[in-house]
Chain A
Amino acid sequence: MVYNEEIFVVRKGDPMAAEARKSADVARLREQARKLRIEIVKMLAESGSGHTGGSLSAADIVTALYFYKMRHRVDEPKWPERDRFILSKGHAAPVLYGALALAGYFDKSLLGNLRKIGCPLQGHPSSKLLSGVEVSTGSLGQGLSIANGIALGLKLDKVPARVYCLLGDGETQEGQVWEAAMSAGHYQLDNLCAIVDLNSLQIDGRCEDVMRIDPVGAKWQAFGWNTIEIDGHDMQAIVAALDVAETVRGRPTIILAQTVKGKGVSVFEDKAEYHGVTPNREELAIALKELGE
């Protein structure tokens, strides 16, 4: 097996980022990400239960996927040629629900019922209950294998759709992630793009203290992946990375996105305590103010 040894690194000011700047309406996406963050904090405050930090850290990435990169049809969620998104870090369900609602998959009013009895917005995404969710997740470490399977199936049928999979950094401590990393490399799944939300935190603290995952890039490269390192809150860089990933042939791409857990709301930023704690009334007020609502 021959790999293209070139490693792409997209940062601010890169020529590739400049290309993307032309093609994408970055300002529009930034505005969309702001709206998404507002929906996230509102639904979590309303629900009183759910995961704040990891939803906010992924908001820019998920915005770029749903409102820039992915080809999907709101009125035809099962369109066979749609690009697929697998939220492997299923606890960040609010970021997915917010994006699906903003895209028009269901009415925004549903968001307030998050985690309530009878609401399809389960604590972790359920594909049986909510259209737009590809597969149920919530148990960490399983999404990449599923994404691989979809990518293999699409290749067999010569469907040009792409598969995106979002993982947490703590999540990559799961052994199955590396089984799947090996499989994607082996089967040269270039229709697959994984993204790691490198917010440096997991439940019990900093990843480097709980269980070191560094060096992240070298690990994925060793498994046969093309790696792209970006600032996961720089919309230009996210867009450019997603564009570059689509051009890589013969191997899967992983976007290693450096993020801040709780991004966008000062009281939640970079705090492990806000992993699974929702905003109280005062925090919601601060959040909405900082998010310009």
Chain B
Amino acid sequence: MGGREETKPQTTTDFCGQSVATRDAYGATLAELGAAHEKIVVLDADLSGSTKTAKFAKLFPERFFNMGISEQDMVGTAAGLALAGKIPFASTFAVFETGRAWEQIRQTICYSHLNVKLCASHSGLTVGEDGASHQALEDIALMRVLPGMTVIVPSDGYETRQVIQAAAAFDGPIYVRLGRAKVPACLPQEYTFEIGKGYSFGIGRDVNIVAIGIMLPMALKAKEMLAQSGIDAGVINMVSVKPLDKELLLEAAQASKFIVTCEEHSVIGGLGSAVAEYLSEQNPVLIKKIGVQDTFGCSGPADELLQLFGLTPESIVETAKAGLAQK
């Protein structure tokens, strides 16, 4: 991080079918929403070029507040703006937003249940070369544990745009996890995002893969690969990590009796934990968790890091087969 990152001109696309980083879709959508909604204000902590809030800042300078490198103050100021009736979006890297300012988010935003939108970019390993200090692998856990917090992890640009629109319309605190790297489009045109709802790409009889973020296209690839071995795998996009789509999860668990969760996050406290917490009480089935195994990330090109940490379609296939052998 630190290099200059270009701000692309404002687009009016819905990003359907486009390969784009979720942070880019965020920046464009925010700019679009800013024009329509006077109440939207945006805060950043000296990373507006990277989080893509710079686009909004350029168009609506009077409604953009650069707070400098002070994440705790940024979160508190966003809370105050919400109290004054604004709809604040506060952005920085996920590790700083949820880590440095966690207690401010807890005490001020969640306890008072304020209408603040925390949209953090640079989550997960795909931060790449900046290394472990900048790769948030704990943010879902940190946000999920907070009472009243909604946690959303979109997978592609098309979904991100809908998520940001829904976040603006929703009254209450919400955390949206965004990424740095370009990701393939995977949600179909007819898809509509709704808080609390997942999306099924077909329920499998042998295994169901529950995935979020960059892991969703990999899960879809794994589904195809498993089909070639005669294994019927389903894929669920669990974009709404909190509230979880329990109905869909239960349906999947009952159909296959075996779930594989996939996330670019620690296997502790994230999507896998959320799924396990629910199913262990409601309908215990075998669950295998793909994610980062209780370790820090490291520097390297994003795609190589994903290989190194086993976040690949191949490892999903392997894990699914191992689980089926165990069943």
Indicate whether A and B interact: yes
| Chain A interfacial positions (CB closer than 8 Å to B) | 80, 84, 126-128, 134-139, 142, 144-154, 156-157, 175-176, 179-180, 182-183, 186-187
A138 adjacent to B72 (CB under 8 Å):
no
Task: Using known A-B contacts A136-B112, A156-B41, A156-B62, determine if residue A146 contacts B67 with beta carbons closer than 8 Å.
Answer: no
Measured between beta carbons, the chain A residues less than 8 angstroms from B68 are 179, 182-183, 186
A148 adjacent to B85 (CB under 8 Å):
no
Does B73 sit at the interface, judged by CB under 8 A? Answer: yes
A-B contacts at CB below 8 angstroms, number? 109
A128 adjacent to B113 (CB under 8 Å):
yes
Chain B nearest CB: distance from A60 CB in Å?
Answer: 26
Within residues 66 to 103 of chain B, which ones have a CB less than 8 A from any CB in chain A?
67-68, 70, 72-86, 88, 103
Does B111 sit at the interface, judged by CB under 8 A? Answer: yes
Task: Using known A-B contacts A148-B77, A183-B73, determine if residue A126 contacts B111 with beta carbons closer than 8 Å.
Answer: yes
Measured between beta carbons, the chain B residues less than 8 angstroms from A179 are 67-68, 70, 72-73
A182 adjacent to B70 (CB under 8 Å):
yes
Interface size on B, residues (CB 8 A): 31
Determine the main DSSP class of B at the interface with A. helix
B104 adjacent to A142 (CB under 8 Å):
yes
Q: A150 is contacted by which of B73, B81, B104 (Cβ under 8 Å)?
A: B81
Measured between beta carbons, the chain B residues less than 8 angstroms from A149 are 76-84, 88
Task: Using known A-B contacts A156-B41, A179-B70, A187-B65, determine if residue A148 contacts B108 with beta carbons closer than 8 Å.
Answer: no
Compute how far the CA of A142 lies from the CA of B79 in the bound complex, rounded to whole angstroms. 10
Measured between beta carbons, the chain A residues less than 8 angstroms from B81 are 149-150, 152-153
A sample of 16 more A-B contacts (CB under 8 A), given A139-B103, A149-B81, A183-B68, is A80-B85, A126-B111, A135-B83, A137-B107, A146-B79, A146-B83, A148-B76, A150-B83, A152-B77, A153-B84, A156-B62, A156-B63, A176-B72, A179-B70, A183-B70, A186-B68
Determine the main DSSP class of A at the interface with B. helix
Residue in A126, A151, A180 whose Cβ sees the most chain B Cβ within 10 Å: A180
Compute how far the CA of A144 lies from the CA of B108 in the bound complex, rounded to whole angstroms. 12
Chain A nearest CB: distance from B48 CB in Å?
Answer: 16
List 28 contacting pairs A-B, 8 Å CB cutoff, sorted by A: A80-B85, A84-B83, A128-B113, A134-B83, A135-B79, A135-B108, A136-B112, A139-B103, A142-B72, A145-B72, A145-B73, A145-B74, A145-B76, A145-B80, A148-B73, A149-B79, A149-B83, A152-B84, A153-B80, A153-B83, A153-B86, A156-B86, A175-B72, A176-B70, A176-B76, A179-B68, A179-B72, A183-B68
Chain A nearest CB: distance from B68 CB in Å?
Answer: 7
Compute how far the CA of A152 lies from the CA of B43 in the bound complex, rounded to whole angstroms. 12
